C-alpha cells in the first residue's frame, strides 16, 4: 500500500477552498477539522506503520491523539524503514538520494519531496513529504497572502513577474533550498523567476547578486536580513521589494522594525520545520498563528505534561496532519514556545504562539584591520552541516576574534579527523568572508547543551 494512495491527493483548489471555509467557520470549524484529521491519521499510522504499531502496542485501540505516547527524532530515525508507510521508501534509498546534490528539489519515487536536517541541530533527520502534504503546504502559503495582502505589494509582485530570491543554506537537501528548487521544477515560469543564493557566500557577493536579480520577494534568515538592511541603508544595495519572508530564526522587534523601515515593505515570519513546512504564519500584530486545521502544536514541560498559557514550554509536540507517507504524531520538536493568554487583536481564529530559542543574533568577528564583520549564524551552521562525519557540531565564540569548534563524530568515524575537517571548513568559510586571521580552535570537549535552557544551540555568539 502506497502512502499517498491512502490519503488520495485532492486538488490544490479544493484544499485552498477548505482553508477559506475553515477560517470563516472560526474556532469550531478548525477544531472539527483537527479532530477528524487526527483520528484518520492515527488509524492510518496504526495500520500502515510498523513503528507506531510497536510504539502504541499498550494503548487502547480507541485512544485519542493526546493519549498516545510522544516520539523523538532519535526513535523515529532508528526505526526509519518501519516508520514509513510506503515500502519503496527506505533509509538506504533516502540516503543515496540526499548524497546526490543534483537531485535537490527532485522527486523521490516520482512523487515525494525530501529534505534533511544535519547534526548541527541535534540528531540528523531525513524527511519525506507526500503529494498531499506538498499540496497542503502550497495552499497554506496562500493563507499568508491573505494576512499580508496589499495593493502595493501585489502590484510590485506582478511588475517583476513574481521574481523571488531565497538566500538560504545550500548543498545538503535542506528544506529552504530544496523547496525553492522543488517549486522551480514545476514549470518554466517559476524556473525562470526563482533563484537560490547560498547564504554561505561572502556578503558582498550576495549584495551584488541581489542587485542584479532585482527580486520582488526575498526569502531570508533574520540574521542575514539584519546585515542586508545595513547594506541597503548605506546605499550599497538598492532593492525595491513587494515583501520579505523570514524563517529559521527569530528577529528582535527593534531589528525587524529597522529592516521594515529601510526596505519599505511588509516583512512576515514563518514558523517552519523540515518535519512540517508552514506550521505557523505571523500576522501584522507580530504573533505566529498556527495553521491548526493541518498542524497540531502542543506546548509541554520537561515531563511532557501540557504547559499552561503564558508559561514558557520546555518543548513542543508536533503532529503533521497533512503527511501520510512518514506520519509525525506528537513529535518532540525541541522548541520552547509561549501561548499568549489574551486573544490576538487581529481577530484570527487560528491560535497563536511565540517561539523562543530561535536565536538569530548576528555573530560579529573582528578582522586584523579592526573591521567588524557580521556573520549570520545560519551560514556557519550550514558550513558545519556539510561535515557529514559529524553527528553534532557546535561553534562557540570565545573572543571577538576566536572560535572553538566542538564535534561529536558519527559512530565509526574518527573524532580527530572529523574535528580537523570541521575546523578546515570553518576556516575556509571565514577566509572567504575576509576573516583570515580569526583563530579557529578544534576543541576536545563535546558539543554542549545550553546550561540555562537545556537546548542545543549550534552557534553560540560571545
Ligand atoms: Zn494576529
Write the CATH number for 449.
3.30.300.30
State in Å: Cα 348 to ligand 1 middle.
6
pLDDT of residue 4: 41
pTM: 0.84
Give residue 240 CA to ligand 1 midpoint distance, Å: 26
CA of 258 to the centre of ligand 1 (A): 21
CA of 282 relative to ligand 1 center, distance in Å: 7
Total domains in the chain come to: 3
Q: How many A from CA of 144 to the centre of ligand 1?
A: 12
**Ligand 1 center–CA 88 separation, angstroms:** 42
Closest CA to 65 of 32, 84, 86, 43: 43
**Same-domain pairing of 46 and 126:** yes
Helices (H), 8-150: 12-48, 50-55, 73-78, 80-83, 91-98, 131-148
Containing 461, the helix (H) or strand (E) segment is none
What's the confidence (pLDDT) of residue 446? 87
Residue given cell 499568549 in the structure block: 340
For residue 138, being part of any structural domain is answered with no
Whether 181 and 116 map to the same domain: the answer is no
Which of 338, 356, 374 finishes a domain?
Answer: 356
Is 140 within a domain? no
Q: Which domain holds residue 393?
A: 363-460
In this prediction, residue 66 carries a pLDDT of: 93
Same domain, 345 and 392: no
Query: How remote is the CA of residue 345 from the centroid of ligand 1, in Å?
Result: 6
In terms of domains, do 317 and 420 share one? no
CATH of the domain at 203: 3.40.50.980
Q: Is 196 exposed, middle or buried (0-12, 13-18, 19+ CB in 10 A)?
A: buried
Report yes or no: 366 and 400 within 8 Å, Cβ to Cβ: yes
3-state class (DSSP) for residue 277: strand
* Residue 298 CA to ligand 1 centre (angstroms): 19
Instruction: Answer yes or no: do 229 and 346 share one domain.
Output: no
CB 309 within 8 A of CB 26: no
Q: Select from 252, 257, 333, 260 the least CA-distant residue to 290.
A: 333
CA of 355 to the centre of ligand 1 (A): 15
- Domain end among 356, 382, 401: 356
Query: Ligand 1 center to residue 268 CA distance, Å?
Result: 12
DSSP 115-153: EEE-GGGSS-EEEEE-HHHHHHHHHHHHHHHHHH--HHH
Let me know if residue 142 belongs to a domain: no
User: In angstroms, what CA-CA distances link 42 with 60, 66, 323?
Assistant: 12, 11, 12
Whether residues 303 and 246 share a domain: the answer is no
Q: What are phi and psi of 402, to 5 degrees?
A: -150, 145
Q: Ligand 1 center to residue 350 CA distance, Å?
A: 8
Residue 259 domain-assigned?
yes
Which of 306, 322, 356 is a domain's end point? 356
Q: Are residues 7 and 127 in the same domain?
A: yes
Q: How many CA atoms lie within 13 A of 248 on its CB side?
A: 29
What pLDDT, on a 0 to 100 scale, did the predictor assign at position 5? 41
Residues 320 and 436 in one domain: no
Q: Are residues 26 and 49 in the same domain?
A: yes
Whether 290 is in a domain gets the answer no
Question: Of 137, 145, 174, which Cα lies nearest the Cα of 291?
Answer: 137
d(CA 343, ligand 1 centre) in Å = 8
Give distance in angstroms: CA of 415 to centre of ligand 1: 47
Whether 331 and 318 have beta carbons less than 8 Å apart is answered as: yes
According to the model, what pLDDT value does residue 121 have? 53
CB half-sphere exposure, 131, CA atoms < 13 A:
16
Residue 217 lies in a domain: yes
144 domain residue, yes or no: no
Q: Tell me, yes or no, whether 186 and 81 share the same domain.
A: no
Query: Which pLDDT tens digit goes with each residue over 210-267?
Result: 999 999 999 999 889 989 999 999 999 999 999 999 987 777 778 888 999 999 998 9
Cα 209 to ligand 1 centre (Å): 35
Q: Are residues 338 and 380 in the same domain?
A: no
Is there a domain that residue 139 lies in? Answer: no
Q: Do 24 and 125 share a domain, yes or no? A: yes
What span, in angstroms and rounded, lies between the C-alpha atoms of 145 and 281?
10
Q: How close is the Cα of 35 to the center of ligand 1, in Å?
A: 23
Where the chain has pLDDT below 50, the residues are 1-7
CB 81 within 8 A of CB 126: no
Distance 261 CA to ligand 1 centre (A): 21
Ligand 1: centre distance to CA 24 (Å): 15
Amino acid at each position: 500500500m502506497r502512502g499517498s494512495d491512502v490519503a488520495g491527493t485532492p486538488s490544490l483548489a479544493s484544499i485552498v477552498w477548505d482553508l477559506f471555509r475553515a477560517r470563516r467557520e472560526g474556532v469550531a470549524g478548525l477544531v472539527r477539522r483537527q479532530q477528524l484529521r487526527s483520528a484518520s491519521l492515527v488509524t492510518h499510522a496504526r495500520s500502515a506503520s510498523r513503528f507506531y504499531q510497536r510504539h502504541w502496542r499498550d494503548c487502547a485501540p480507541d485512544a485519542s491523539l493526546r493519549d498516545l505516547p510522544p516520539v523523538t527524532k532519535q526513535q523515529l530515525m532508528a526505526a526509519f524503514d518501519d516508520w514509513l508507510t510506503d515500502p519503496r521508501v527506505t533509509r538506504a534509498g533516502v540516503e543515496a538520494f540526499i548524497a546526490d546534490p543534483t537531485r535537490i528539489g527532485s522527486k523521490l519515487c516520482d512523487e515525494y519531496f525530501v529534505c534533511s536536517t544535519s547534526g548541527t541541530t541535534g540528531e540528523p533527520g531525513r524527511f519525506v513529504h507526500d503529494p498531499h502534504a506538498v499540496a497542503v503546504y502550497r495552499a497554506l502559503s496562500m493563507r499568508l497572502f491573505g494576512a499580508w495582502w496589499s495593493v502595493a505589494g501585489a502590484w510590485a509582485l506582478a511588475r517583476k513577474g513574481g521574481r523571488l530570491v531565497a538566500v538560504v543554506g545550500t548543498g545538503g537537501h535542506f528544506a529552504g533550498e530544496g523547496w525553492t528548487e522543488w517549486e522551480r521544477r514545476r514549470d518554466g515560469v517559476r524556473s525562470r523567476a526563482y533563484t537560490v543564493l547560498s547564504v554561505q557566500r561572502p556578503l558582498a557577493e550576495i549584495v551584488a547578486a541581489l542587485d542584479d536579480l532585482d527580486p520582488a520577494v526575498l526569502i531570508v534568515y533574520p540574521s542575514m536580513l539584519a546585515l542586508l538592511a545595513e547594506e541597503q541603508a548605506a546605499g550599497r544595495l538598492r532593492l525595491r521589494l513587494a515583501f520579505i519572508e523570514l524563517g529559521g530564526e527569530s528577529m528582535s522587534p527593534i531589528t525587524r522594525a529597522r529592516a521594515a523601515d529601510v526596505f519599505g515593505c511588509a516583512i512576515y515570519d514563518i514558523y517552519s520545520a523540515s518535519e512540517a513546512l508552514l506550521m505557523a504564519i505571523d500576522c501584522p500584530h507580530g504573533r505566529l498563528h498556527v495553521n491548526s486545521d493541518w498542524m497540531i502544536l502542543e506546548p509541554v514541560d520537561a515531563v511532557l505534561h501540557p504547559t499552561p498559557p503564558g508559561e514558557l514550554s520546555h518543548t513542543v509536540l508536533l503532529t503533521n496532519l497533512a503527511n501520510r507517507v512518514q506520519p509525525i504524531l506528537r513529535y518532540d520538536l525541541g522548541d520552547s514556545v509561549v501561548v499568549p493568554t489574551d486573544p490576538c487583536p487581529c481577530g484570527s481564529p487560528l491560535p497563536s504562539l511565540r517561539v523562543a530559542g530561535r536565536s538569530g543574533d548576528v555573530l560579529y568577528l573582528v578582522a586584523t584591520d579592526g573591521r567588524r564583520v557580521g556573520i549570520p549564524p545560519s551560514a556557519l551552521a550550514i558550513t558545519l552541516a556539510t561535515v557529514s562525519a559529524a553527528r553534532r557540531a557546535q561553534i562557540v565564540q570565545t573572543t571577538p576574534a576566536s572560535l572553538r569548534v566542538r564535534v561529536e563524530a558519527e559512530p565509526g568515524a574518527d573524532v580527530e579527523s572529523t574535528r580537523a575537517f570541521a575546523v578546515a571548513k570553518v576556516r575556509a568559510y571565514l577566509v572567504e568572508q575576509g576573516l583570515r586571521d580569526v583563530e579557529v580552535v578544534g576543541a576536545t570537549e563535546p558539543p554542549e547543551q545550553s546550561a540555562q535552557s537545556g537546548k542545543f544551540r549550534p552557534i553560540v555568539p560571545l
